[in-house]
Amino acid sequence: MSSESLIIKCRSCGKDIIKTASICPHCGTKPRNMKKIISISATCSIAIMVFIAMNSTDKSKYIESVKEYNEFYEKSSSVAQDNIPSDEKKLILAVSNSLVTYEASKNEIQKSISREKRKNLIAASSVAFTVSNWVGVINRIDTSIDGKAIVSIRISTETEIGTWNNSLSDITSNTLIDKGSQVYDQVIPMSVGDKVKFSGSFLSADKDYFEERSLTTDGSMRNPEFLFRFNDIRPAN
């Protein structure tokens, strides 16, 4: 898998954009001197997704979808964009761009294909299964029937990362946080809306690359909830 980033800096405004974007979603400048992505299948997936998005009837949706995650950190969590780890940016952009393709779909077959393309895009972006010091906002803190902690962290307007919300579903996943563990103690004083840094690992899955717990395709594409085993959660400031 290529070690190159799928994200480059715009030559005009200096902000992050997908390599295959035909214009910068932040300032409208056309990128130049694009480097090829080694994986041909990954290149095809990204190019098709961006082409559909940029040629949809509502072209502004592409620009707005990428801008949303910047606004999220600036207005909702006040976490500077430069402090977002590169892997986290890749996942946010993969979800945002895939959502544009999904919304442009005309039937269920196209919607299913857009989900498959998101999987390929995440795989091609080389986002690691184990991550450190990602940033987000606590979206849910709760307990299961057996007292384990349920935690969900929102990293963009669309994307959540968290544990299962019940013990039965979690039997084989082991994402719920054990009472008395370090992470359990860390989240005791926290509240919904708190800005945090977190570390841990995603679960592997054939359907979405990272295991995702939505019951429907629509839920998975519009508000993906990726399962995660936390090993550290602490205040961002």
Cβ-in-10-Å burial (0-12, 13-18, 19+) of 151 comes to: buried
15-24, 49-58, 115-124, 138-147, range with the lowest pLDDT: 49-58
Domain parsing of the chain, residue ranges: 7-124, 130-235
Which carries the bigger pLDDT value, residue 49 or residue 174? 174
Is this structure's pTM higher than 0.75? no
The predicted-structure confidence for 24-76, as pLDDT tens digits, reads as follows 656 666 655 433 333 434 444 444 444 444 454 444 544 454 454 445 434 43
Angle 219-15-35 (CA atoms, 0-180°, nearest 5)? Answer: 90
Degrees to nearest 5, angle at CA 200 with 196 and 201: 135
* Residues 35 and 46: beta-carbon distance below 8 Å: no
Q: How far apart are CA 193 and CA 137, in angstroms?
A: 6
- The pLDDT assigned to 62 comes to 41
